[in-house]
Chain A
Amino acid sequence: STIVLVFEAPSQQKGENGRVKGWEWKVQKGQRVRQGQALGQV
């Protein structure tokens, strides 16, 4: 079984201080995750 998430989030863009703003993934492809673990954040 599989769960697919499709969602809208702010696009990634570079801020004035060079920091990336917008959606950021916190996982790698193929990584094992547990329920409640972070996938990403804005």
Chain B
Amino acid sequence: LGDALRNTKIQWYQIPVGLGIGFLGLVQFYKVTAREQEKQRDLEVGEPGSQPRGRPKVRPDGPWQVQVMSTLPLKAMSRLWGRFNELTIPYYLRVPGFKLYAFIFGVDLSEVGEDDLHVYPNLAAFFYRKLKPGSRPLHPDPHMLLSPSDGRVLQFGQIEGGDIEQVKGMTYSIDALLGRRTPTSSISNGSSGTSTEHAKKIHREASEEEEIIKSDAEFARVNGIPYTLPDLFTGSGRSKPVKDAATPSSQSTEAEVGAELALGERPWYDIISPDKTTSLYYAVVYLAPGDYHRFHSPTNWVVERRRHFAGELYSVSPYLQRTLPGLFTLNERVVLLGRWRWGFFSYIPVGATNVGSIVVNFDRELRTNSLTTDTEADRAADEAAARGEPYLGFAEASYEGASPVLGGHALRRGEEMGGFQLG
């Protein structure tokens, strides 16, 4: 073989120019055809009889940085980042490591819950640290809406025409952020879904109702929730209730639950007060890497539903918020829908590449930034496509079972709700 390689004469020939041009033309033709076919497949998603193929990939518009980012496997990178940060740091490197992190990202170590930083085995544990009791006093006025977390207020304002202004000139639809309709029951996976079985369960528990009412009335009084129980039952408060049929009385029937499902099909903004005395407002709080990453309830309110959008995990840095329109409608997020003293209230933790895992303390079934969740979302998209329905993009759970009287999970002002974890 060596002899053949050494002694064989090599003679080079020029390829005819026409052949080269033809080859390049073929490559280009193949690329264009593939692109067209991809577009065609995207259009076919949702049409009856079309081939199921998971969630359609959203290609965001934006500068080249955004285009490059959209080609990266952000969720896989985020999971890998999470795993990496769960590796145990050698004991003697922990304190200098955390001090370096604190120096770079501006963490105030004097308010960290544990005096001995050796207690935190890795960066993930340090990142999800608790603070010393009393280091975040609540505003003394009980009527104030509080900041849910440490951070920077990037945007706030009034929502007009259903659009939120992300930055000057860039808006995104509130429907896209929160989700417009409740999906069909096949997607509901909550701890107590809006199902017939749930209605029957409520019916069985009717004999215990009086006791529950007493305890919830006590809760409402303690927390200063300013509506009476009849208000909660009949929706005779200041604004229209989310679900009139959610009243868990001893008369609960399947018909009521059916009515409730029908109400769930309404656009979310139908719940806004019909007398136009109220408006919708929004606020965006950005948490920097060095901030305390647990989030709290900004007021006394009742969470009725949770919608999990298993989206992408772009960075949510102020730069990207300026350059990528609708960033919050692309990223993975947990939309908590409920009501407070003045009517509708929603709370939306949005994940990012480095902090993709959103934890909600009162929802053990919620799994964010998980391969399983992505697979389930793809399956739900396939099923929706097979049924000829558009994929709504989220899985919904109901918290009505948490408190049948209040119709959801009640949260106190300042109560810890959950947090963001690395990866």
Contacts and interface: CB of A to CB of B under 8 A. Distances in A.
Interface of A: 1-12, 22-23, 25-42
B161 interface: no
Nearest to A5: B283
Contacts of A10: 277-279, 342
Contacts of A36: 136-139, 146-147, 296, 414
Interface residues of B, number: 62
A4 B350 contact: yes
Nearest to B239: A8
Nearest to B419: A1
B284 A4 contact: yes
B178 A5 contact: no
A3 B352 CA distance: 11
A8 B147 contact: no
Given A3-B349, A4-B284, A23 B152 contact: no
A11 B277 CA distance: 6
30 contacts: A1-B287, A1-B293, A1-B350, A2-B328, A3-B151, A3-B285, A3-B295, A3-B349, A4-B282, A4-B284, A5-B282, A5-B346, A6-B159, A7-B345, A8-B239, A8-B278, A9-B281, A11-B279, A12-B279, A31-B152, A33-B285, A35-B136, A36-B136, A36-B137, A38-B141, A38-B147, A39-B145, A39-B283, A40-B281, A41-B141
Interface string B351-381: 1100100000000000000000000000000
Interface of B: 136-139, 141, 143-156, 159, 164, 174, 177-178, 239, 272-273, 276-287, 292-293, 295-296, 298, 316, 321, 328, 340, 342-352, 355, 414, 420
Nearest to B272: A8
A22 B287 CA distance: 28
Contacts of B144: 26, 38-41
Nearest to A25: B156
Across the A-B interface, the 9 shortest Cβ-Cβ residue pairs: A8-B343, A38-B144, A8-B344, A33-B147, A1-B420, A4-B348, A36-B138, A11-B279, A38-B139
A24 B327 CA distance: 27
